[in-house]
Amino acid sequence: MDPEDGIHDEACKAVIQSTQDAIKLLEIYQSEGAWKRHKQRSTGKNFLSSDFKPEHLCVIYDVFDDDLVRQYLEGNITSKEPQLFK
């Protein structure tokens, strides 16, 4: 993450990274015929389009002045770290 980036920049980077990860997964499947499986312990959160509203952007741009990335990197905004399987 770059402290100079806005939330749109980070969203674009997330799309690029997820595309690269999907390609790697397809390469694994193509070479091995299957993926290593992990039992899922919980359902997690399924985000729906109804979970996102235009007014959410007001917080990002008006309250945080599109400075969420810097605030996060400086430790002013925290979140629970997810458990990822790779």
CB atoms < 10 A from the CB of 69, how many? 19
The stretch 13-27 carries a mean pLDDT of 97
Encoded tokens for 59 = 């917080």
Confidence at 21, pLDDT banded by 50, 70, 90: very high
* Count of CA atoms in the C-beta half-sphere (13 A) of 30: 6
User: pLDDT digit string (tens) for 25-71?
Assistant: 999 999 999 988 888 887 778 889 999 898 988 988 898 898 989 99
Mean pLDDT of 67-79: 91
Higher pLDDT, 3 or 84: 3
- Checking if the pLDDT of 86 tops 80, the result is no
Q: Can you give the pLDDT at residue 42?
A: 79
Backbone angles phi, psi at 25, to 5 degrees: -65, -40
Closest by CA position to 44, among listed 85, 11, 86: 85
Residue 69 and residue 2 in contact, taking contact as beta carbons nearer than 8 Å: yes
Query: Which two three-digit tokens encode residue 72?
Result: 């996060």
